[in-house]
């Protein structure tokens, strides 16, 4: 964490990160909407309803923690989104080279 | 509660209550399955997903507490199910007259 805290983000870079986070979030939620419609169409038993509830509880918890945009967490947040396929390194081309390299390394961890 | 605790349930009556609770539970869950499929088919926005999650959380909490089959709660449980339209007084015809009368009074409270 100490190392991450030393990384400086310019206002322009924060904006790039913000746009990337928004893009990833929208994509994730769009997939979730489709997924829930699909799952729900298959519900036929009471336990299916509770399974859907468990799935949504877990998903909500995951998503609530995933888009942490605090400066000291941005490297982790962005690398996780790349890892999850919600962002591409090319979405972060405008960040300085050093940050992109670090994010790239983190995605392989 | 003191008054309720004095009511005695024979084994045969407990069985009648158990069958009635099971019937109501199955009916409620069947409606829930239909309702969730209907709601889910209308989901198009991210907030719809979270609304469905909130609805399921509330419903699960409600149902978890609703089918209390402890002897001292049976009068309340049965009267609530009648009130909610999940049971009919005719489902309880085999209970002794006094219990049916009390349940009937409780449903009007």
Q: Tens digit of pLDDT for each residue in A12-68?
A: 999 999 999 999 999 999 999 999 999 988 999 999 999 999 999 999 999 999 999
- For residue B10, what are the CA distances in angstroms to A68, A105, B24, B33, B99? 59, 71, 21, 34, 12
Distance between B95 CA and the closest CA of chain A, angstroms: 29
pLDDT exceeds 70 at position B4: no
Each residue of B29-70: pLDDT tens digit?
999 999 999 998 899 999 999 999 999 999 999 999 999 999
Q: Which residues of A touch B32 (CB under 8 A)?
A: 46, 49
CA A38 to chain centre: 22
pLDDT exceeds 50 at position B1: no
pLDDT bucket at B6, cuts 50 / 70 / 90: confident
Q: Which residues of A touch B48 (CB under 8 A)?
A: 33
Q: What's the rounded Cα separation, in Å, for the pair A60 and A8?
A: 30
Average of per-residue pLDDT values in chain B = 91
Q: What's the rounded Cα separation, in Å, for the pair A5 and A73?
A: 8
Of the partner residues B41, B46, B49, the one whose CB lies closest to the CB of residue A56: B49
Asked if A52 lies within 8 A of B43 by C-beta distance, the reply is no
The residue length of chain B stands at 109
- For residue B47, what are the CA distances in angstroms to A43, A63, A84, B43, B53? 21, 13, 22, 9, 10
pTM for the model: 0.82
Asked if B60 lies within 8 A of A50 by C-beta distance, the reply is yes
pLDDT exceeds 50 at position A4: no
pLDDT exceeds 50 at position A2: no
pLDDT bucket at B104, cuts 50 / 70 / 90: very high
Q: What is the ipTM of this complex?
A: 0.80
Residue of B nearest to A58 (CA): B53
Q: What is the mean pLDDT of residues A72-92?
A: 94
């Amino acid at each position: 964490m100490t190392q991450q805290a030393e990384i400086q983000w310019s206002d322009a870079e924060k904006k790039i990160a913000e746009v990337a986070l928004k893009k990833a979030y929208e994509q994730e939620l769009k997939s979730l909407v489709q997924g829930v419609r699909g799952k729900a169409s298959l519900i036929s038993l009471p336990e299916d309803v509770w399974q859907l509830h468990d799935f949504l509880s877990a998903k909500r918890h995951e998503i609530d923690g995933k888009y942490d945009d605090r400066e000291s967490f941005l490297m982790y947040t962005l690398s996780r989104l790349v890892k999850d396929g919600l962002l591409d390194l090319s979405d972060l081309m405008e960040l300085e080279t050093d940050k992109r390299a670090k994010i790239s390394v983190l995605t392989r961890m």
